[in-house]
Amino acid sequence: MSAYDYDLFTIGAGSGGVRASRMAAMAGARVGIAEEYRVGGTCVIRGCVPKKLLVYAAEFGHAFHEAKGYGWTAQNVSFDWTKLIENKDEEIDRLNGIYIRNLKNAGVDIFETRAVVKGPHTVHLVKEGRDVTAERILIAAGGAPWVDESVPGHELAITSNEAFHLERLPKHVIIAGGGYIAVEFACIFRGLGAEVCLVYRGEDILRYFDRDISVQVHEELKRLGVRVVTQAVFEKIEKLSGDEKRAYLSNGHHIDADLIFWAVGRRPNTAGLGLEEAGVALGRNGAVKVDEWSRSSVPSIFAIGDVTDRVNLTPVAIREGAAFAETEFMGRPTKMDYDFIPKAVFSTPPVGSVGYPEHEARKRFASVDIYKTDFRPMKNTLSGAEHRTLMKLVVDGESDRVVGVHIVGEGAPEMIQCLAIAVKAGVTKRQFDETCALHPTSAEELVLMREKFVPEMKIAP
Ligand code: NDP
């Protein structure tokens, strides 16, 4: 019997912490887990899951208009924000209950409290006012929205945490940022009928994606009626009367809105967690520094998920948690494999992407072939919707291996999940060509791209 209270104590019951804790407990370890907010973490409680429900709600908004071209007449259509939020909350409560049940069924002790690290084997449970000891401690505390506190009036704007609990649908929204959250919420609020303005400090939104994706999404946002202001940041936010606020921008303009939203990135949740005092080295933005086994600079303390700021996606945190449990409690040393992780942005239309963007592939491979197509999907012929679909293949010219697939268009995330299997398995462009098309679909275009894309050459006069 170990001298410690637990074999594993996990701080943070989000996707990664829950997966690691359950697997360790099912392998026979004595496991405790502390959560200061709600079991389920960002993804389930105030991230991916409620976001996707709001995305569905926004899509219905477009569907009513688009159905007209197909002969439908929808009368007295109205939207009830309160109803949507109530139904969403009910679903989140259900999922929260499942997460709690799964932990309990695996034999994990749940502590509803903030926990801080007091030493290599000691955790302090704040609400209970006592310490527990554990052979291993797992930090899975996730991340939190970052706000630029140097901007006067910054507190007048919300973050994604509050966006899921607004009392009413705003009429006019200004969103700062050009990443996942900014783009997704711009499309949600626009789809539900609000006027939306996106304020981005650079030129290309979604700049970590392939440049064709950035440009296409930028165009689609404009088609949707989202105003995109580039090369600007908030300088000051001021309260006007009622719910109205005014955002002053660095380009000299100002915009009024009843909701202002920070979506300028997230930071690891390590402040006040006692990590540095316990000897755990932190890196950029306070992220826990870990090795390939998710072990921190203190051998008994591990960290997984957004708190390590590696690849901040739920399925990655889950796999890091699983790899940790397999290595430490199941006798199967396992490292997380970060190659070819599929990504999606749930914009309107959405993005799906796996592998290298063209600009990264050109740095990595001696020769790169590009195939791309941009078309109006069949559904939009009668609906009159103007959204287009873009598909792009990035191919290593020497091996013929497809090393990147990037899509903007209806169904892109679903397509990319399947394509990621083939890309990870090393599929070649020739094997794409050998695959029979499935007609009529948008996805068939993926196996019908024969002509290499040759950029237009500017001929000197
Ligand atoms: P992102 O890192 O995606 O984007 C942050 C945006 O804010 C970027 O456009 C960035 O500009 C801009 N920015 C950063 N600092 C400043 C600043 N000081 N002033 C003005 N603008 C600034 O973060 P998000 O908050 O959108 O999302 C956080 C993370 O959550 C994502 O990285 C992703 O891992 C995860 N997520 C994933 C989703 C999905 O899988 N669908 C959905 C939502 C979140 P620049 O580009 O110039 O750096």
Q: Element (H or E) spanning 336, and its range?
A: none
Side-by-side strand order, sheet with 254-257:
234-239, 245-249, 254-257
Instruction: Report which of 141, 147, 143 is spatially closest to residue 36, judged by C-alpha positions.
Output: 141
Report residue 125 as tokens.
Answer: 């449970």
pLDDT of residue 86: 98
- Reported in sequence order, the residue ranges of 12-160 that DSSP labels E, i.e. its strands, are 31-34, 109-111, 115-119, 122-125, 130-139, 143-145
One domain for residues 324 and 193: no
One domain for residues 253 and 274: no
Distance (Å, whole) CA 324 – CA 308: 14
Evaluate: CB of 345 within 6 angstroms of ligand 1: yes
265 annotated ligand-binding residue: yes
Evaluate: CB of 315 within 6 angstroms of ligand 1: no
One domain for residues 286 and 244: no
CA 177 – ligand 1 centroid, Å: 7
CA 386 – ligand 1 centroid, Å: 27
Q: Is residue 186 part of a domain?
A: yes
Q: Whose CA is nearest to atom 41 of ligand 1?
A: 345
40 annotated ligand-binding residue: no
CA 179 – ligand 1 centroid, Å: 4
Neighbouring C-alpha atoms within 13 Å toward the C-beta of 264: 21
Q: Whose CA is nearest to atom 9 of ligand 1?
A: 178
Q: Is residue 338 part of a domain?
A: no
Q: Are 127 and 81 in contact (CB under 8 A)?
A: no
One domain for residues 309 and 388: no
Q: Is residue 273 part of a domain?
A: yes
Q: Are 213 and 416 in contact (CB under 8 A)?
A: no
pLDDT tens for the chain, 461 residues long, are 689 999 999 999 999 999 999 999 999 999 999 999 999 999 999 999 999 999 999 999 999 999 999 999 988 899 999 999 999 999 999 999 999 999 999 999 999 999 999 999 999 999 999 999 999 999 999 999 999 999 999 999 999 999 999 999 999 999 999 999 999 999 999 999 999 999 999 999 999 999 999 999 999 999 999 999 999 999 999 999 999 999 999 999 999 999 999 999 999 999 999 999 999 999 999 999 999 999 999 999 999 999 999 999 999 999 999 999 999 999 999 999 999 999 999 999 999 999 999 999 999 999 999 999 999 999 999 999 999 999 999 999 999 999 999 999 999 999 999 999 999 999 999 999 999 999 999 999 999 999 999 877 666 66
Q: Whose CA is nearest to atom 7 of ligand 1?
A: 264
Core vs surface per residue 136-151: b (16+ CB within 10 A) or e = bbbbbbbbbbebeeeb
Please report, for the domain that includes residue 379, its CATH number: 3.30.390.30
Ligand 1: residue of 208, 209, 266, 306 to mutate (most ligand atoms within 8 A of CB) is 266
Q: Is residue 106 part of a domain?
A: yes
pLDDT of residue 74: 84
One domain for residues 117 and 32: yes
Q: Which of 264, 293, 316 is the last residue of a domain?
A: 264
181 annotated ligand-binding residue: yes
**Angle between the 48-66 and 81-105 helix axes, to the nearest 10 degrees?**
140
One domain for residues 161 and 124: no
Evaluate: CB of 183 within 6 angstroms of ligand 1: no
Rounded to the nearest 5 degrees, what angle is found at the Cα of 302, between the Cα atoms of 299 and 303? 150
Rounded to the nearest 5 degrees, what angle is found at the Cα of 73, between the Cα atoms of 69 and 75? 145
Ligand 1: residue of 264, 343, 346 to mutate (most ligand atoms within 8 A of CB) is 264
178 annotated ligand-binding residue: yes
Q: Which amino acid is at 243?
A: D
Q: How far is CA 219 from CA 33, 122, 184, 302, 325, in A?
A: 45, 53, 14, 43, 44
Please report, for the domain that includes residue 172, its CATH number: 3.50.50.60
Q: Which of 238, 264, 290 is the last residue of a domain?
A: 264
Evaluate: CB of 223 within 6 angstroms of ligand 1: no
Distance (Å, whole) CA 9 – CA 133: 8
Neighbouring C-alpha atoms within 13 Å toward the C-beta of 139: 42
Distance (Å, whole) CA 436 – CA 432: 9
Evaluate: CB of 344 within 6 angstroms of ligand 1: yes
Closest ligand 1 atom, residue 263 Cα:
25
Evaluate: CB of 313 within 6 angstroms of ligand 1: yes
Per the structure, the complete domain to which residue 163 belongs is given by: 154-264
Return the active site residues.
Answer: 439
Evaluate: CB of 177 within 6 angstroms of ligand 1: yes
One domain for residues 137 and 278: yes
Beta-carbon contacts of 139 under 8 Å, excluding residues fewer than 6 positions away, are 11, 12, 117, 270, 273, 275, 280, 288, 296, 301, 302, 303, 304, 307
Q: Is residue 55 part of a domain?
A: yes
Q: Are 21 and 43 in contact (CB under 8 A)?
A: no
Domain count along the chain: 3
The SS3 call for residue 389 is: strand
One domain for residues 119 and 249: no
Distance (Å, whole) CA 246 – CA 129: 44
Q: Which of 329, 352, 372 is the last residue of a domain?
A: 329
One domain for residues 434 and 301: no
Q: Is residue 389 part of a domain?
A: yes
Q: Is residue 1 part of a domain?
A: no
One domain for residues 272 and 126: yes
Q: Whose CA is nearest to atom 15 of ligand 1?
A: 264
One domain for residues 27 and 129: yes
Evaluate: CB of 148 within 6 angstroms of ligand 1: yes
Q: Which residues pair with 229 in a beta bridge?
A: 199
183 annotated ligand-binding residue: yes
184 annotated ligand-binding residue: yes
Neighbouring C-alpha atoms within 13 Å toward the C-beta of 107: 12
Q: Is residue 44 part of a domain?
A: yes
One domain for residues 188 and 109: no
